[in-house]
Every structure is written in structure tokens, then in C-alpha cells.
Amino acid sequence: MSFLSPYQVILAPMAGVSDPIFRSLCEEQGADLAFTEMVSAKGLSFANDKTRHLLDLLPSERSIGVQIFGHEPDTMASQAAWIEDELGCALAYIDINMGCPARKIVKKGDGSALMCDPDRASAIVSAVKRAVAHPVTCKFRRGWSEEAGESAPAFGLRMQEAGADAVAVHGRYAMQFYKGASDASCIARVACALSIPVIGNGDVASGADAHAMLSETGCAAVMVGRAAQGNPWVFADIKAALESGSAPQAPTVEERISMAKRHVDELLRIRPRSAAYLRKHVMWYVHGMPHAAAVRGALATCSSAAEFHDVLDQLLESLSC
């Protein structure tokens, strides 16, 4: 049995998004596993408090995925070992980021830049694999650019040879960022080429999307990213589609606003200075509602749970008129 067997539906690591409360809400709705935000190995090596803070877990979090990024094999290996020691039995597995297309990441040779240097990428996987007892995976994209062509199957084979226990593949090129459609057929080609499990990622926004990706690509699991922002219910939809073929009722306006309040209350309780960070989460929860655009301006000055509640209560009142 693959180590991935308990983790068929996964919340992706998302920088500036995957806080502990968001993770717990997604798991309540059906996510089998959640990831922390991606973590800088270099930052950890400097014992940077801001970086280590990303690894803070709730007492209820008994299984967590951690994604690290960097380009130095020795640093990646030593910090993966530190994470393993720090998190102990709460750690599910360690993923290596080889897909982030953000310019500030790529210009340092991290993230998707590693797809242009498969020798270095292989060395990182091998070094991390030697340093830890937990499974090691890597997440990458279809390739660097459309002009350079698809490299994911060949790149995946290199990572498998280096010792990766599984890979996650996003069906866009790095230079697409998040524009255009994700190509699921690329994920199918990687799954066909490799003997280790493949996790499919990209444009999984519903139960139907997840079911199609699993059945059409041969991947072992699906990873959900942006579709979960403000919508932890996407996991309930996916679980229902996979287990019974049915679709649960969409959350009501009241339920969406209630969930936003809960996210605010619980995160501010453990991170009192996170009000500015929470504004985007609240906007995601109310996205698409009438008058939601007007909420954006009101949120800009929210600095307490009470102020967030006032804004959301006013929105709910305006919707009931």
C-alpha cells in the first residue's frame, strides 16, 4: 500500500493562505491532508522566527504535509531533518517545491527554476531522501514554458530515479503562472511514465473535476489550491463525488458568512496581529455575493474580530432587504 493511500484529497501548500485555521476548516469539510505554507529552507537554517512560525500547528493537527523550497541540496537536507525532528509523528511527508513560478522565488534558482536544472533538482531529492525517514515528494509543473515544451514526464522520471516517493504535477507551464487552462493530459502522461504515485493538481474546483482527474489521468490523488480559498466546502463536494457520486447542497449565504466569522475569530485568538492578513480571506468568503465589492473598502480598516463581524453583519443585513 502506498503511503499516499490515506491522502487522496489534499489541500495544497499556498503561501500567505494556508494558516492553521484555514487548514482545520478544510479538513473538517473532507480534506484528507493539509499542507503548511511553503517554507524556505534557507530561512529555517538561519533560525528565522518568521519562517519557523509557518510550522506552528494546532493541537488538533495530527498529520500535516510540509513543503520546503530552496536550491542548495545540503541546506534542503539539513532543514528537512530539522522539520522531521521538530514535528515528529505529526509530519505526514515532506514535499520539495519545484513548481512555484513567482519571480522572487525563481530568480534565486528556487521553485520552478529547478525544472531548468534537473541535475540540481535530482541532487536535492537525493540529499533530502538520505536525511529523513519520512516519504519525500516533489511538486512541479508541465514544463518551464510553452516554447520550451513539455518536460514533466522526463523530469518526473529523473525525480523518481533520485528517490522521490511520489510527485505532484500542475498542468500549466511555469510561465503561464495561473492563466489559461491546466492540461490534465500532461498529468496522465506523467502517471503513465512513472511507477511511483502521481498527485494531480490544477483546476480542481469541484467534485466533478476531481473525479474526472482521477479517472482520466491515472493519478493516485488530487491536490486542491485556489479553489479552496474562501470555499472549504469544495472538499465536501469532492468527497461526496468520490464516495457516492452525489453533490451536497451548496453553502448558503449565512453559512459562508458564519464560516468567515469563525475563521476570523479563531485565527485572531492564536495570532492577534493577523487582521490585515485576514482581509483577503474574508473577501474570498463573500466573493460573488451582491454588495461584496463594497465590503472591500470596509475591510481595509478592520483590526479586530468585532470590526470584521460588524462588516459581515451589515452585508448579511443588506442581502436580506
The verdict on whether 186 is a catalytic residue reads no
Sign of CA dihedral 302, 304, 309, 314: negative
- How do beta strands 39-40 and 221-224 pair? unpaired
**Directed axis angle between helix 253-270 and helix 20-28, to 10°?**
140
Cell triple for 59: 493541537
DSSP 156-200: HHHHHHHT-SEEEEEEEEGGGTT-S---HHHHHHHHHH-SS-EEE
Terminal CA-CA length for the chain = 55
Q: Output phi, psi for 222, to 5 deg.
A: -120, 150
Q: Which entry of 26, 100, 186, 302 is annotated as an active-site residue?
A: 100
Active site residue ranges: 100
